[in-house]
Amino acid sequence: MRMGLFIDMPCTTDLAETRGFADSMPLAVFVLDPDRRITVWNRACEEMTGLTREEVVGTRCAWRGFYRHARPVLADLVMDRRREEELGRLYGEKRMSGDNAMFFEDFFPDLPGGARWLCFTASPWYGEDGELKGAIEIIRDISYRKWIENERLQSDHRLAKLLADLEHRTTHDLLTGLPNRALVIDRLHHALSQRGKRAEMAVMFLDLDGFKFVNDMLGHHIGDQLLEQAAQRLVQGLREGDTLGRFGGDEFVILLPGMSDRAAVAEVAQRLIEALEEPFQLGPDEAHISTSIGIAMLPADGADPHKALKHADAAMYRAKDKGKGCFTFYTGTIGCELDEKLALRSGLKKALERQEFELHYQPKVALSDGSVTGAEALLRWRHPELGMISPAKFIPILEETGLISPVGEWVVDEACRQHRAWRREGLPPIRIAVNLSVRQLWQPDLTGRIRRILERHQVDAGFLEIEITESLLMHNREQAQEVLTQLSGMGIRLALDDFGTGYSSLSYLKKFPIHSIKIDRSFIQELDKEIDDFEIVRAIVSMGHSLGRHVVAEGVEREQQCATLLGLGCDEMQGYLLSPPLPPEKFAQFLIEREASAPSCLMLSP
């Protein structure tokens, strides 16, 4: 870098005159003759270095490498005017430290590190006759300037890092480090714009089945660990160049550019499902989850990013409806179902307030004599425009939105109110069973809520039965045992529903205060035809009785099934052979007719 101050010295060989001129300058200036001997040493040099003129003049300039670094040797400058225009003056900067620092190490002692920087400008000096007389050198201490430059550079680095961190935070998920919703959509936009309407890629929408349960039961810090581990497993199952992003909560999106083969995409989806099926070790706890995946293929399912994501999301919900832990490709039919689901979701938010819910009751009878022992209260939704909505459609939405808690409490309240109303009408007392969801089980003061409902309607706790599923007991067994023990202590009966479809274990019946087990309908359907189902049901009945539990079969539809269950010693049954779920007034009529007919177990219709 060529820079510095050029000083015009007097064009004379008179050293006295030159010395006088140099002394008048505020800068440190000294003059060398052709032999590199110092001939002029001005006052500024004395003040800067602490060396007097008498000590320096006449000595050769060789400052422990500084002079060599600056290369002010006249032979290295110009030895004739023709090259002066080419090279001109020389400029040099040198960091003085160690031996090179000499007397400058104490200059500006407040600067960090004590390192000194000097700069010099060396120019040839010619006499009036044009003969080279020597060199004029100017020294300046630029330590402070260098420190300022270094601070500015570090500040720029810090600012650049801060901006980079800020950009990363705005485009990536803070927990998993994955691209967030905004970045995924941006990459999808970019991929489509690069390839135009011919863009071929797959978009996957993933939701972790069972995550909400882990998050609610074990705590958000455990839920965060699960998300981090799940993200790591998903990344390992993808190619370089694929994008995995977290959309929020337990939802992830995957972009698979260049993939148009549905079979290949299906292989990727299945690989991801299997990766998440392995247990997650979360400290002392072990969690089991699965994932539901919806897939949209571009451009067939939409060349617009938002439409593609919407379709993949809709396909994901179809996968959940199919039983979770699977994948589904988007179809036009799914799109129509998505519109219906959105309409149902919107309507459910007002359904409780508008009193659109009602309970139907399916009776249970004793197989020994056919007497009605109780009924299961089943939730129904009568939509003002769509009519009666299937529970299979709206119950999952209640779970997803969290509305299951207030609706579930209404079910308990309404069942107790109806029981009291039937008793006032003179009907025989029967036990009414209500289903309890996972969210309800972990509600604060659940036992207190139910106790107040029983007291309000003056219903004995023995006439209320709560049905829970095996999956509800899978996590946080200690808390589940505590809550169920409190309910049982109040006199409420507890039934284990859908037994045999989950993680059936004798430990449930041993540790939890379960009074009865309900054999799932899937084992009853072919009970009289399939030997395997027959043996399973026989084993469940035997096991239940050996542990002192009541055994109920659900989903009984044929006389032969009823006869087989009676032969196996099953205690109770419910199903369409006896009666479908009935509204309150029809159920009351059913009770009256059953009481009048005194049916036997094989003559179930009144």
Average pLDDT over residues 349-361: 92
Residue from 59, 30, 62 nearest 43 by CA: 30
Write the Ramachandran bin of 485: left for phi over 0, alpha for psi from -120 to 50, otherwise beta.
Answer: alpha
User: pLDDT tier at 333 (50, 70, 90 boundaries)?
Assistant: confident
Residue 601, pLDDT above cutoff 80: no
Give pLDDT tens digits for 528-582.
Answer: 888 988 999 999 999 899 989 999 999 999 999 999 999 999 999 999 999 999 9
Residue 289, pLDDT above cutoff 80: yes
Q: What are phi and psi of 131, to 5 degrees?
A: -80, 140
Spatial neighbors of 586 by CB under 8 A, at least 6 apart, are none
Q: How many CB atoms lie within 10 A of CB 246?
A: 25
User: pLDDT tier at 589 (50, 70, 90 boundaries)?
Assistant: very high
CA–CA distance, 367 with 347 (Å, rounded to integer): 41
**Which residues, listed in sequence order, are joined to residue 121 by a DSSP beta bridge?**
91, 138
Residue 587, pLDDT above cutoff 80: yes
Q: Which two tokens stand for residue 517?
A: 């087990």
Q: Which of 188-202, 206-220, 380-394, 406-420 has the highest mean pLDDT?
A: 406-420
Residue 252, pLDDT above cutoff 90: yes
Q: What local confidence, expressed as pLDDT, does residue 260 receive?
A: 85
In the chain, pLDDT over 90 holds for what percent of residues?
Answer: 36
User: Do residues 3 and 91 lie in contact, with contact meaning Cβ atoms separated by under 8 Å?
Assistant: yes
CA–CA distance, 522 with 362 (Å, rounded to integer): 18
Does 181-330 carry CATH code 3.10.180.10?
A: no
CA–CA distance, 252 with 246 (Å, rounded to integer): 4
Q: What local confidence, expressed as pLDDT, does residue 438 receive?
A: 77
**Which residues, listed in sequence order, are joined to residue 159 by a DSSP beta bridge?**
none
Q: Which of 61-70, 88-97, 106-115, 318-327 has the highest mean pLDDT?
A: 318-327
CA–CA distance, 404 with 216 (Å, rounded to integer): 15
Give pLDDT tens digits for 74-129.
Answer: 333 333 333 344 444 566 676 665 443 444 333 334 445 556 677 777 777 777 77
Please check whether the two domains, 15-150 and 181-330, share a CATH topology. no
Classify domain 15-150 by CATH number. Answer: 3.30.450.20
Q: What local confidence, expressed as pLDDT, does residue 312 receive?
A: 92
Q: Which DSSP category does 429 fall into?
A: P
Residue 70, Cβ density class (10 Å: 0-12 exposed, 13-18 middle, ≥19 buried): buried
CA–CA distance, 590 with 362 (Å, rounded to integer): 10
Give pLDDT tens digits for 401-414.
Answer: 888 889 999 999 99
User: Do residues 205 and 265 lie in contact, with contact meaning Cβ atoms separated by under 8 Å?
Assistant: no
In the chain, pLDDT over 70 holds for what percent of residues?
Answer: 83
Write the Ramachandran bin of 89: left for phi over 0, alpha for psi from -120 to 50, otherwise beta.
Answer: beta
Q: Where are the domains of the chain?
A: 15-150, 181-330, 355-597
CA–CA distance, 471 with 501 (Å, rounded to integer): 9
Average pLDDT over residues 582-588: 95
Residue 273, Cβ density class (10 Å: 0-12 exposed, 13-18 middle, ≥19 buried): buried
Residue 324, pLDDT above cutoff 90: no
CA–CA distance, 488 with 494 (Å, rounded to integer): 7
Q: What local confidence, expressed as pLDDT, does residue 92 receive?
A: 66
CA–CA distance, 572 with 52 (Å, rounded to integer): 117
User: pLDDT tier at 197 (50, 70, 90 boundaries)?
Assistant: low
Q: Which two tokens stand for residue 393?
A: 């459609």
User: pLDDT tier at 507 (50, 70, 90 boundaries)?
Assistant: low
Q: Which DSSP category does 428 fall into?
A: P
Q: What local confidence, expressed as pLDDT, does residue 68 receive?
A: 38
Q: What local confidence, expressed as pLDDT, does residue 580 receive?
A: 95
Residue 104, Cβ density class (10 Å: 0-12 exposed, 13-18 middle, ≥19 buried): buried
Architecture in CATH of 355-597? Alpha-Beta Barrel (3.20)
Higher pLDDT, 404 or 476: 404
Spatial neighbors of 202 by CB under 8 A, at least 6 apart, are 254, 255, 256, 259, 260, 265, 268, 295, 296, 297, 298
Spatial neighbors of 148 by CB under 8 A, at least 6 apart, are none
User: pLDDT tier at 380 (50, 70, 90 boundaries)?
Assistant: very high
Task: Please tell me the least confidently modeled range out of 185-199, 228-242, 402-416, 574-588.
Answer: 185-199
Average pLDDT over residues 54-69: 60
Q: What local confidence, expressed as pLDDT, does residue 83 receive?
A: 39
pTM more than 0.75: no
Q: What local confidence, expressed as pLDDT, does residue 248 receive?
A: 86
Average pLDDT over residues 345-354: 87
